Structure 1
Amino acid sequence: MTAGIDLDQPHAQAIRSDEDVVRVRQLVRTVAVAAKLSLVDQTKLVTAASELARNTLVYGGGGGVEVATVDNGRRRGVRIIFADSGPGIADLNLALTDGYTTGGGLGLGLSGARRLVDEFDIDTGVGKGTRITVIKWAR
């Protein structure tokens, strides 16, 4: 156990309210610190997680997140999986375009989050919800 958190176990958090988005950020920061990510990488990962948690709440109608450490044999990282049972994303290519927004924001949520992490995978479809997996590796 490091920094008060067991890195060998994934940590889950529901996303049902603005307060849960704050809890996700706190959880991700705690795991990122314990996994020994640099301060810059911690900040990038927390920022991406905040954007994706907000999208899970606003566009997916809520859902959940799982935060875990991963190891590829050379280095350790943090994997975060966001999942919701919302309407899904009708046009994924459009949704990943900088500047595209359906909510009146800056349109940097998905594309910005993708740039902040090392690995980004999204599984979505109309009527089947959305599942986004991101990984940030320690340098």
Structure 2
Amino acid sequence: MDIQSCVEVRNEWDIVSARQLGRNMAKELGFGNVDQARITTAISELARNIYLYAGKGKICIEPIDQLGKKGLRIIAIDNGPGIREIRKVMQDGYTTSGGLGAGLPGVKRLMDEFSIESTVDVGTEISATKWLR
């Protein structure tokens, strides 16, 4: 299982599909129920952001093995409007959709590693990794 699996995100059902794929892969790798929930919540947030702000994109999930350390990497990619102020969207409580504002700061807290690259009018790529304990 060393290849990444991707789910195209165009509608709300695709968010469900991405969550399910992530949960299944996490379970297969041996993550416990709590970490499976963290991973699926992170996927849900990332996929929902693609759906709400970019219209379409994809969530890719890949098992990783670095020096015997196993984990799961989630990559959210879109060609949407990009994020003008990354610092602002990474503040707790910041929301443009009227949601709870847990969004990206929540994803960062749920996962062990988090990175975001965004170019206005080009798109955004977010990578989040959870390591198996």
The structure 1 residue matched to 2:43, chosen from 43, 49, 56, is 49
Which residue of the partner structure matches residue 20 of structure 1? 14
Offset at 1:106? 1.0
Q: Following the alignment from structure 1 to structure 2, what is the Cα–Cα distance between the partners of residues 28 and 63? A: 16
Which residue of the partner structure matches residue 98 of structure 1? 92
Structure 2 gaps of 5+ residues are none
Q: TM-score, normalised by structure 2?
A: 0.97
Tell me if 1:32 matches 2:26. Answer: yes
Post-superposition Cα deviations, 1:45-91, rounded to whole Å, max 9, x if no partner, equal: 11011011000111111101111100111321001111000000010
Identity %: 44
Tell me if 1:124 matches 2:107. Answer: no
Offset at 1:125? 1.8
1:71 maps to amino acid: D
Which residue of the partner structure matches residue 133 of structure 1? 127
The structure 2 residue matched to 1:65, chosen from 37, 59, 69, is 59
Equivalenced residue count is 133
Moved segments of 4+, more than 3 Å: none
Q: Following the alignment from structure 1 to structure 2, what is the Cα–Cα distance between the partners of residues 112 and 75? A: 24
Q: Following the alignment from structure 1 to structure 2, what is the Cα–Cα distance between the partners of residues 30 and 123? A: 27
Post-superposition Cα deviations, 1:10-53, rounded to whole Å, max 9, x if no partner, equal: 11110001000000000000100111112111111110110110
CA RMSD in angstroms, aligned pairs only: 0.8
